[in-house]
Amino acid sequence: MTLTLSPPSTAHHGMVDSPAAAIAARLHRSGGGRGGALSDARAQFEAASRLLGLDPALHAVLSVPHRELTVMLPARLPDGSTVMVAGHRVQHSLARGPGKGGIRFSARADLDTVRALAMWMTWKCALFDLPFGGAKGAIAVDPVGLETAEYERLVRRYARAVAPITGADLDIPAPDVGSGAAEMAWMMDAAPATSAGWGTVTGKPLSLGGSQGRAAATSLGVASVALLALERAGIDPREATAAVHGFGKVGRGAALELARAGVRVVAVADVRGGVHAGDGLDLAALAAHVDGTGSVVGFADADAITSADVLTEAVDLLIPAAVEGVITHENVDRVRARIIVEGANGPITSTAETALRHRGIDVVPDLLANGGGVVVSYFEWVQARQGWWWDAADVEQRLAQRMRASWQLVAQRASADGVDLRTAATALAVERVAEAVRARGSEG
C-alpha cells in the first residue's frame, strides 16, 4: 500500500525581504540532491533480481515502497515569518519485521532520496539478519536557519505527525545525517502514549535507554570491514595508506580506528576543505583542531587541499563517508584508490561504479560497510524491550561478530557467483526478504 499525504510544497507566508529570506531559501532547497540515488537503488535491485531469477510477483512487491507519508510542518523563522517544510517517512518493506531507518535533517532531502534510502535499509537489515524491514525519514530543513527552541518544536511536530505509522512494533526511527541523540529524545518524548517507550526510537541518550557503543557503531563497522577488505586483497594494514572523505560522525571514528590498526591516514576532508600529510596525519591533533574550529581547514600540521582532492588520492583505501553521489562520471577517472569502502549511503553512482569495476578497483558497498549503526540500533531495541542493558565491551564484541559474519557471507557469494561485492550483498538480502514475503503469502 502506498499512502501519500500533502505533497511537498514551497509555499510560505509572511516572508519579507530580510536575512530570513535567505534562510527560507535554504529551508526549501529540497530538490537539490544528486538526483540519482533512487535510480541507483533500483539498478542495484534489478541486478540482484536478474542474478536470483526473482519471481515477477515478488519483484513487483519489492520494487516499490510499501507505504509513504508526507506531511507539511510549519517552522517559524527568527524574523517572525513562517515557512512550511516537508517531512517524509517511507517504509519500503515490513516483511521481516518493523521498519527501521534514520531520519535525515537536510534541506537537500527530497522524497526520491528517502525512497532510495528506505530500499537500501530493507536490504541492509536483511543482510545482517535483523528482524526488521526498511524505512527512512527526512525533514527538508537546514537546522542552521532555525532558533534552537523552534527547531525542537519542529522535530516534535514531525514526531506527532508520523506517530500513526511509527512505534516500537511498527517502525523505529534513528539518527541520520543532521540528527543525533537530542532529536531522538525529543521524538520519544513527543510520541503519543500508545506508542511511547524506550523502544520507540534508537540512538537515544544513555539516560533515556540508549545503548553503549551506539554513537561509534557505524565507524567501528566501517573500519572493521575496511580491514577485512585489505586482508582479502593481501595488503598489510601496517603498510597501507588511506584517505577519508568526511570527518563527521562516521569518517572521524573510522579514521581513528584505522590508525589504531596501523593504517597511515594521509588525507581527510570535510565540506569546507581537506588536509594532507604524506607521512600520515596526527588524527588526535586533527580531531582536537576540529573540535575547536569546526573544520579540518587550517590544521597547521598538514598541507591544505580541496575536499574533492581527497577523493583522488593515490591510496590503498578510500572511505567516502560524507554524503551520496560524490564519485560520479565526472571524477571517476581520477580516482586512484585500490579499494573503496562506502562509509556514506550511495557515495558512488552506478555509472561511476561500473567504470571502477572495469579498472579493477574493488568497492565494498554501503549495504555492508556502514551496517554497524543499524546493528547496534537493533541491540538498543532489544535491550529496551528486555529492560536489560549490556556493557560497551559486550556491544563491541557482538558488533564485530555480526560484521565479520556478514562480510564472509558476501565475499563467499561474490566468489561463488562471479559477481562484485555489491551485487552479492544485494542478492543475499533480496533473497531473504523475498523468502519472508513468500512465506507470508503476500506477493499478490
Q: Which of 100, 124, 136, 204 is catalytic?
A: 136
CA distance 121 to 94: 11
Task: Say whether 136 is catalytic.
Answer: yes
Contact (Cβ atoms closer than 8 angstroms) between residue 94 and residue 400: no
Residues whose CB is less than 8 angstroms from the CB of residue 164 and which lie 6 or more positions away in sequence, other chains included: none
Distance of CA 21 to the CA centre of its chain: 30
CA distance 435 to 96: 9
Q: Provide the annotated active-site residues.
A: 136
